[in-house]
């Protein structure tokens, strides 16, 4: 590639070797590329220089710093094209992952490939990513399995990264949609097709469709029906019957969550914070807290917060922290190192699960075990926040 704009945050594309095509979408082509000097691999998205491409860079730049959002490395404007360098996720997308598991597990079409525990891990990753994006004033508008990437081939589903911000928009400036080609029809909220001003709750609807697909192995609506859903007075009743009689059968809490995500009225959809405290996801959070006291004290004593065993960190959003604890977190810049360690011990002893008011874990529940992975994330979040 020829050299282009080399301002801060941009790249000299002549320094990269372009490899195979990884994918193609409405807004450009994605290829693998390697930095000639460091041999570091990246994904390079190339599209025509346009307002849409510039907006994508702006939106993605705004949501950097979260481990469940794909990392923007650099960008270059050159000869009418924009090249965007992104972290390369070797594990592929969630749809590819599900299909590979289908083969490995000998699961037929129409049968759930993922367990409810695995689907819960995936959902939690996406909720955390969307929560972060919305807090930065960005709605994604194209949440679907193909835009959820796994960093490595052996990654857990809780490591999913939200990608492709080609359809993202500023929440504060959204108006009636001018181009209904934005997003993917099967996953679009009905209000997008109804000539009304919508908001970030369109991402919650898409999240509901993703969850429905992961648990039931098919999409909830025919494409032709989506534009008319907004006018259907009996939609909720029909969907409830559809979910209740679904095959394969899913748990009561899973059904309840799906129905509360796929609400035609945007104001009735669950908020992201409510999703995190929904009974279906509580076991995921509880597993993070089973050995929380012992693990937190051990880590704070060792001072080992950069254990190479953990290559990334997932933040539990502050909205999950009770108000009393928020007050303590707010004074983080006023606490000396010794005081911080003392406070960590104080928080650990009573057990964070009691402060979060979560129900106790049912050992025979759907999740099984989730290792010390989440324990570390809770630890890291508190240490960084205090």
Residue with tokens 């076991």: 283
What are the distances in angstroms from CA 137 to CA 61, 124, 168, 174, 299? 12, 20, 10, 11, 34
149 beta partners: 93, 161
Q: 32-39, long-range: CB within 8 Å, 24+ apart, which pairs?
A: 32/88, 33/85
Q: Which of 142, 164, 203, 217 is catalytic?
A: 142
User: CA–CA separation, 328 vs 334, rounded Å?
Assistant: 10
Judge whether 161 is annotated as a binding position.
no
What are the distances in angstroms from CA 125 to CA 158, 202, 224, 356? 5, 18, 30, 19
Of the candidates 16, 361, 364, the one whose C-alpha atom is nearest the C-alpha of residue 375 is 361
Torsion on CA atoms 57, 39, 148, 179, rounded to nearest 10: 30
User: CA–CA separation, 379 vs 284, rounded Å?
Assistant: 15
Active-site annotation holds for 93: no
Buried b (16+ CB within 10 A) or exposed e, 217-246: beebbeeeebeebbeeeebeeebeeebeeb
Largest CA distance in the chain: 62
Residue with tokens 């539990």: 316
Helix (H) or strand (E) holding 299: helix 292-302
Annotated binding site for ATP: 45
Q: Which residues are catalytic?
A: 142
Annotated binding site: 45
């Amino acid at each position: 590639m020829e050299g282009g704009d080399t301002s801060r945050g941009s790249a000299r594309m002549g320094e990269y070797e372009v490899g195979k095509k990884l994918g193609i979408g409405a807004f450009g082509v994605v290829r693998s590329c390697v930095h000639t000097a460091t041999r570091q691999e990246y994904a390079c998205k190339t599209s025509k220089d346009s307002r849409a491409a510039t907006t994508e860079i702006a939106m993605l730049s705004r949501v950097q710093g979260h481990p469940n959002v794909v990392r923007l490395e650099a960008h270059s404007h050159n000869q009418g094209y924009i090249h965007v360098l992104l972290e390369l996720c070797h594990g592929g997308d969630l749809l590819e992952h599900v299909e590979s598991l289908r083969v490995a597990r000998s699961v037929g079409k129409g049968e759930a490939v993922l367990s409810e525990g695995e689907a819960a891990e995936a959902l939690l990753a996406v909720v955390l990513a969307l929560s972060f994006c919305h807090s930065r004033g960005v709605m994604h508008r194209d949440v679907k399995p193909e835009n959820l990437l796994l960093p490595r081939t052996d990654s857990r589903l809780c490591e999913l990264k939200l990608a492709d911000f080609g359809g993202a928009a500023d929440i504060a400036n959204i108006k009636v949609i001018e181009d209904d080609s934005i997003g993917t029809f099967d996953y679009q909220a009905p209000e997008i097709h109804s000539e009304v001003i919508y908001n970030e709750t369109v991402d919650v609807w898409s999240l509901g469709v993703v969850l429905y697909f992961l648990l039931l192995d098919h999409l909830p609506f025919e494409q032709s029906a989506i534009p008319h859903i907004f006018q259907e007075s009996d939609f909720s009743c029909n969907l409830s019957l559809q979910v209740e009689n679904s095959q394969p059968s899913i748990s009561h809490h899973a059904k309840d969550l799906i129905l509360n995500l796929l609400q035609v009225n945007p104001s009735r959809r669950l908020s992201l914070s409510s999703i995190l405290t929904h009974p279906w996801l509580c076991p995921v959070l509880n597993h993070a807290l089973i050995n929380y006291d012992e693990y937190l004290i051990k880590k704070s004593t060792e001072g080992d917060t950069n254990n190479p065993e953990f290559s990334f960190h997932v933040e539990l959003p502050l909205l999950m922290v009770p108000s009393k604890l928020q007050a303590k977190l707010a004074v983080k810049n006023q606490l000396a190192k010794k005081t911080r360690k003392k406070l960590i011990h104080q928080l650990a002893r009573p057990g964070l699960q009691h402060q979060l008011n979560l129900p106790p874990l049912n050992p025979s529940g759907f999740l099984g075990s989730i290792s010390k992975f989440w324990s570390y994330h809770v630890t890291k979040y508190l240490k960084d926040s205090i």
